[in-house]
């Protein structure tokens, strides 16, 4: 498989000894037309990769902030096909890596092969399915890789050694490490289980490691960036969108928030 924008990004980050900033937003929140500009604002603020969340009616892995964002996006008429159209519009102005972040049900309804084909054509670089067991991921992985898409899987502090090995086997691009158990959402303090999980995952893979769930402050970004290859911020970004609706007031505060988070990134030692 040819290198994707995701793998090329991590090559650049490694060469400059810098951790990356990954920003998540729910596509279509508060409306589909707003998302490309919000992505542009995050990129200007220092985000290196964007997770485009597909709104879903039963987001069991997400906390209340992202649940509300999904509800707003669904009310605005956002569908999986619509998210791919949003990606096309982002690609008209940006080469920032895009990771489709979704649940299994929308993908199955769309069709795995059809989604791989259409996502690649729209400029998506990879997919992450929050509720797909890695033990059952073979057909999905085959379909995505056939179309040149990375497959990113989740590992958690509770993952067994066997699960870590499977995540390493089926992941390309990077591995997403969940900093704690539970749903998404901002946390006042960073879990002390992050560094041990990073160390365990380093034993079984050479892929870059990104850490997310609960990260919302520059000091938390700095702490994670000192041990991992990238930091994922989701709920805090979605909350910033929620707090700054209407549309004409969204981009500037979002860009500033991303800039504050990016200031927490640290250079790696040689």
Closest CA to 38 of 267, 243, 238: 238
Residue holding tokens 């000894």?
17
User: Is 219 designated active site?
Assistant: no
What does the block give as tokens for 229? 């290859």
Closest CA to 53 of 24, 78, 73: 24
User: Is 95 designated active site?
Assistant: no
Closest CA to 67 of 253, 231, 188, 242: 242
From 62, 150, 242, 255, the catalytic residue = 62
Answer yes or no: are the C-beta atoms of 190 and 213 closer than 8 Å.
Answer: no
CA angle, residues 125, 129, 130, in degrees to nearest 5: 135
CB under 8 Å to 52, separation ≥6 — which residues? 25, 27, 35, 39, 83, 86, 87, 98, 99, 100, 101, 124
From 29, 48, 51, 186, the catalytic residue = 51
In the three-class reduction of DSSP (H, G, I as helix; E, B as strand; rest coil), residue 269 is classed as coil
**What residues are annotated to the active site?**
51, 62
């Amino acid at each position: 498989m040819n290198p994707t924008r995701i793998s090329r990004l991590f090559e650049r980050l490694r060469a400059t000894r810098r951790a990356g900033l990954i920003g998540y937003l729910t596509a279509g929140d508060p409306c589909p037309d707003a998302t490309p500009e919000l992505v542009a604002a995050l990129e200007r603020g220092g985000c290196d990769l964007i997770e485009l969340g597909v709104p879903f009616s039963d987001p069991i892995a997400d906390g209340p902030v992202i649940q509300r964002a999904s509800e707003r996006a669904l009310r605005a008429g956002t569908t999986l096909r619509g998210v791919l159209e949003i990606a096309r519009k982002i690609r008209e102005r940006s080469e920032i890596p895009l990771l489709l972040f979704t649940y299994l049900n929308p993908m199955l309804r769309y069709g795995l092969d059809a989604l791989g084909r259409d996502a690649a054509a729209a400029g998506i670089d990879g997919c992450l399915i929050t509720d797909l067991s890695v033990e059952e991921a073979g057909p999905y992985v085959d379909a995505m890789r056939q179309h040149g898409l990375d497959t990113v899987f989740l590992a958690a502090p509770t993952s067994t050694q066997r699960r870590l090995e499977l995540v390493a086997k089926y992941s390309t691009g990077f591995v997403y490490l969940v900093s704690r158990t539970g749903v998404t959402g901002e946390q006042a303090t960073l879990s002390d289980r992050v560094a041990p999980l990073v160390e365990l995952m380093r034993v079984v893979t050479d892929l870059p490691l990104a850490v997310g769930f609960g990260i919302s402050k520059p000091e938390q970004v700095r702490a994670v960036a000192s041990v991992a290859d990238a930091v994922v911020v989701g709920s805090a970004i979605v909350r910033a969108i929620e707090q700054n609706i209407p549309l004409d007031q969204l981009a500037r505060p979002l860009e500033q928030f991303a800039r504050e988070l990016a200031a927490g990134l640290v250079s790696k030692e040689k």
